[in-house]
Amino acid sequence: MKITYRILNPLTGSYVTTTSVEECTKTFSKLAYDLYLTYTHNNPVVVVIEDEGVETWRNMQGTEIVNPELVQQQILEQLEIL
C-alpha cells in the first residue's frame, strides 16, 4: 500500500504531492506563507512612524510605501475638483 499527501496550491489550482507527513507539513507551511505574502503584497508588516501627526509608512527593509489614508485623501481631493 502506498500513501501520499496532496496539498492544494490555491495560487495555481493544482495539487502538490508529498510522500510523508513531514514533507506534507513543510510544503503546506511554504504554500501558506507564499499565499499570505501574495495577499499582503509582500509587506505583511508595516512600520508606521508618526512625527507631528504625519505618518510615514515603511516596509521592514525601510523602504517607504504608500500610506492608504494619504491615497484616500488625494482621491477625495481630486473628486471635489470635478
42-59 residue pLDDT tens: 888 999 999 998 889 898
Task: Give the pTM.
Answer: 0.64
Secondary element (H or E) of residue 68: helix 68-81
| Residue 55: per-residue pLDDT | 87
Does 35 score more than 60 pLDDT?
A: yes
pLDDT at 48: 92
Radius of gyration (Cα) for the chain, nearest Å? 21
d(CA 40, CA 24): 24
Residue 30, helix vs strand vs coil? helix
| pLDDT (0 to 100) of residue 43 | 86
